[in-house]
């Protein structure tokens, strides 16, 4: 995002509301209403001044920053009208209005909003979420201009957003990038607020919440305090956590410049394990306030909303953020150290069971996000690897390697990238700058690591780094019958893992498992049916394939599925204990 836009929002984010008439009319003004929420239709009006000569093009984004997939939001647009002026759709995202010399164009349209994700918009009788890129046209020539918004919600609803308020339900943004980077949550909201380093943060929850707002406030404050302490700077003047508690289930989050939208299943909030995972998600999205929204790949800002914006740095932006979403709650005292180690170990185990990690490097997984990560298929496990998971483990490896070589850490790398490329120069970073910052912190070349584990597909070696903090890694997997297939609803084959028995002997994606050697079977009782079979023994799988009954003869393997554990070594030294506490618990030496 351009530096001027960020600066404008930072300076304005928490300023007192002023009467709208104090400011000159914006070149682009939006009106948002929802007169009949049960139709799921947002009604939008755009007033556009400072018109280009001859005609004005209205463009609907195809994606939203932070979610790297073309979603073609234009498919939900209907009833576009320019008050009698000619309107022509010239491509899938663009409506052209010939204005005939008018001083202003007033465009009205409606958008169907019934997709409950953090990347889209939602409207029903209980709540609404306005996600800017999925709702609002922009005019290319005026994309850098100030814009304003008037919202008319249903009676009794309240609003929460990171936008700057200038009057009752009236907001402004420095430009379109800032405008659509500020979702709006509406409904019967539960709210709380707190301050950290003199700046205000707000919690707004839509939907039933089994937890007290006091607990949420106190725990979120600890996450904010710990993250702000790491960067030693507050880049916003106001921040808003927008949380949707969903009784029907769901989850996910999306970062914004001074807010985040988080979905969580209501039932998950009612369990300690579910709540702990929710805190990891909150820590992840808040960490993006620095890593992604300020420390950003040079390719991501200003945004081109009409096509893919590719970068090779999502392993850092998302993966290293996933590393810190474990560290931050641990350092904040919200999770036990054992839980943090188990979270790292689960990621290591999951990657060990993903053949695709040997085929797609973290850099290439980042570049391919638009066609791989958000569009997984039955072969994805064999051909791709999540940059969230691979980046988390690369973050762990880099941090421990830098720490064992001296007094610095990955924390120092991120502080440098925040202060230099962003704050000092107002620009994004390149892969080369990231590597150099890591090498400066380590005091040595890391070319071998970056060549093998970032640009290449080798697994990082963690033993020396773990030893530095008094830990060891071991695999506690137990040999048992292995098929090498994954199932949906316990019966339908969704993936066949490369190199396993199912792969070699011809079990197919889509097969419906019926029996093993004539005995009724599915994925739930598979283990019992083959528990005592020997390595190399043949079994007969009976399946439906495209509606036809078929037998598949499979040569069974006994294989240890990875069950990696990270544990403290026996009798760690005082230096190892101090290094462990500095790393995982954030404790500085006395």
Number of Cα atoms under 13 Å in the Cβ half of residue 97: 27
What pLDDT is attached to residue 26? 87
Name residues whose C-beta falls within 8 Å of residue 200's C-beta, 6 or more positions apart in sequence.
14, 193, 194, 237, 238, 239
Domain boundaries, the chain: 3-187, 190-287, 314-472, 479-560
Q: Measured between alpha carbons, how far is 200 from 383 in angstroms, rounded to an integer?
A: 45
Cα end-to-end span (Å), the chain: 41
What pLDDT is attached to residue 25? 83
Long-range contacts of range 75-78, CB-CB < 8 Å, 24 or more positions apart? 76/111, 76/112, 76/113, 76/134, 77/109, 77/110, 77/111, 78/109, 78/110, 78/111, 78/112
**Which CATH number does 479-560 carry?**
2.30.42.10
Q: Do domains 3-187 and 190-287 have the same CATH topology?
A: no
User: What does the DSSP 8-state code read for residue 17?
Assistant: P
Length of the chain: 590
What is the topology classification, in CATH, of domain 3-187? Immunoglobulin-like (2.60.40)
Alpha helices in 418-508 (DSSP H): 431-442, 447-449, 463-468, 501-505
> What's the CATH class of domain 314-472?
mainly alpha
Sign of the CA dihedral 196, 202, 208, 214? positive
What pLDDT is attached to residue 560? 87
Long-range contacts of range 90-93, CB-CB < 8 Å, 24 or more positions apart? 90/57, 93/59, 93/60, 93/61, 93/62, 93/306
Q: Measured between alpha carbons, how far is 217 from 244 in angstroms, rounded to an integer?
A: 15
Sign of the CA dihedral 349, 350, 354, 357? negative
Sign of the CA dihedral 307, 312, 315, 317? negative
Evaluate whether 62 touches 70 at the Cβ level (below 8 Å).
Answer: yes
Alpha helices in 506-558 (DSSP H): 526-530
Give SS3 for 581: helix
The alpha-carbon radius of gyration of the chain (Å, integer) is 26
Give SS3 for 254: strand
Evaluate whether 559 touches 353 at the Cβ level (below 8 Å).
Answer: no
Per-residue buried b or exposed e for 12-45, using 16+ beta carbons within 10 Å of the residue's own CB: bbeeeeeebeeeeebbbbbbbebeebeebbbbbb
Name residues whose C-beta falls within 8 Å of residue 119's C-beta, 6 or more positions apart in sequence.
64, 66, 67, 71, 131, 134, 254
What pLDDT is attached to residue 301? 82
Give SS3 for 320: helix
Cα 575 to Cα 100, 398, 467, 572, 580, distances in angstroms? 77, 20, 11, 8, 9
Look at the pTM and tell me if it is higher than 0.85.
yes
φ/ψ bin of 19: left (φ > 0), alpha (ψ from -120 to 50), beta (otherwise): beta
Q: Measured between alpha carbons, how far is 9 from 294 in angstroms, rounded to an integer?
A: 13
Helix axes 387-404, 431-442, angle to 10 degrees: 30
pLDDT in tens, the chain (590 residues): 444 344 333 333 333 344 444 457 889 999 999 999 999 999 999 999 989 889 999 999 999 999 999 999 999 999 999 999 999 999 999 999 999 888 999 999 999 999 999 999 999 999 999 999 999 999 999 999 999 999 999 999 999 999 999 999 999 999 999 999 999 999 999 999 999 999 999 999 999 999 999 999 999 999 999 999 999 999 999 999 999 999 998 899 999 999 999 999 999 998 999 999 999 999 999 999 999 999 999 999 889 999 999 999 999 999 999 999 999 999 999 999 999 999 999 999 999 999 999 999 999 999 999 999 999 999 999 999 999 999 999 999 999 999 999 999 999 999 999 999 898 888 999 999 999 999 999 999 999 999 999 999 999 999 999 999 999 999 998 889 999 999 999 999 999 999 999 999 999 999 999 999 999 999 999 889 998 899 999 999 999 999 999 999 999 999 888 899 999 999 999 999 999 999 999 987 54
What pLDDT is attached to residue 589? 53
Evaluate whether 502 touches 537 at the Cβ level (below 8 Å).
Answer: no
Q: Measured between alpha carbons, how far is 278 from 239 in angstroms, rounded to an integer?
A: 18
Q: Measured between alpha carbons, how far is 228 from 528 in angstroms, rounded to an integer?
A: 51
**Which CATH number does 190-287 carry?**
1.10.390.10
């Amino acid at each position: 995002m351009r530096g001027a836009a960020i600066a404008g929002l930072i300076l304005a984010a928490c300023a007192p509301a002023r009467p709208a008439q104090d400011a000159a009319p914006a070149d682009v003004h939006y009106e948002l209403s929802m007169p009949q929420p049960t139709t799921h239709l947002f009604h939008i009006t755009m007033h556009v001044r400072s018109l280009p000569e001859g005609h004005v093009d209205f463009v609907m984004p195809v994606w939203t920053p932070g979610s790297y997939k073309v979603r073609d939001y234009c498919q939900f647009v209907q009833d576009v009208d320019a008050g009698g002026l000619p309107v022509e759709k010239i491509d899938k995202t663009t409506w052209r209005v010939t204005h005939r010399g008018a001083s202003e164009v007033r465009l009205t349209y409606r958008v169907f909003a019934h997709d409950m994700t953090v990347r889209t918009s939602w409207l029903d009788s209980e709540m609404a979420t306005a996600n800017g890129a999925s709702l609002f046209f922009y005019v290319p020539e005026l994309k850098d201009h100030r814009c304003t918004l008037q919202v008319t919600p249903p009676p009794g609803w309240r609003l929460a957003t990171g936008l700057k308020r200038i009057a009752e339900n009236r907001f402004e943004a420095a430009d379109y990038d800032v405008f659509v980077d500020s979702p709006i949550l509406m409904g019967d909201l539960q709210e709380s607020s707190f301050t950290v380093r003199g700046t205000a943060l707000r919690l707004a929850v839509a939907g039933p919440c089994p937890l007290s707002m006091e607990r949420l406030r106190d725990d979120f404050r600890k996450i904010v305090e710990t993250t702000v302490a790491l960067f030693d700077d507050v880049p916003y003047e106001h921040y808003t956590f927008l949380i949707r508690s969903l009784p029907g289930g769901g989850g996910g989050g999306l970062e914004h410049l001074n807010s985040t939208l988080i979905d969580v299943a209501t039932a998950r909030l009612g369990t300690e394990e579910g709540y702990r995972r929710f805190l990891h998600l909150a820590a992840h999205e808040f960490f993006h306030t620095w890593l992604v929204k300020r420390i950003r790949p040079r390719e991501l800002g200003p945004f081109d909303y009409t096509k893919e914006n590719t970068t090779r740095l999502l392993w850092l932006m998302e993966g290293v953020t996933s590393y810190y979403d474990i560290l931050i709650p641990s350092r904040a005292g919200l999770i036990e150290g054992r839980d943090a180690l188990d979270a790292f170990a689960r990621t290591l185990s999951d990657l060990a069971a993903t053949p695709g990690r040997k085929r797609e490097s973290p850099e290439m997984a980042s570049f391919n996000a638009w066609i791989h990560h958000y569009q997984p298929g039955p072969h994805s496990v064999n051909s791709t690897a999540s940059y969230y998971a691979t980046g988390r483990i690369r973050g762990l490896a880099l941090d421990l390697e830098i720490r064992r070589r001296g007094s610095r850490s990955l924390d120092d790398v991120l502080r440098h990238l925040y202060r230099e490329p962003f704050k000092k120069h107002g620009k994004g970073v390149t892969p080369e700058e990231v590597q150099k910052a890591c090498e400066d912190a380590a005091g040595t070349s890391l070319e071998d690591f970056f060549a093998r584990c970032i640009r290449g597909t080798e697994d990082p070696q963690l033993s020396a780094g773990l030893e530095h903090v008094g830990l060891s890694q071991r695999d506690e997997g137990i040999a048992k019958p292995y098929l090498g297939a994954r199932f949906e609803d316990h019966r339908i084959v969704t993936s066949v893992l490369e190199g396993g028995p199912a792969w070699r002997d011809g079990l197919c994606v889509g097969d419906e498992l019926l029996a093993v050697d004539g005995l009724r079977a599915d994925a739930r009782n598979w283990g019992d049916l083959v528990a005592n079979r020997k390595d190399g023994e043949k079994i007969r799988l009976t399946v439906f394939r495209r509606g036809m009954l078929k037998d598949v003869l499979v040569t069974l393997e006994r294989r240890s599925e990875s069950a990696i554990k990270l544990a403290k070594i026996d009798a760690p030294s005082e230096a190892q204990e101090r290094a462990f506490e500095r790393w995982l618990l954030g404790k500085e030496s006395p």
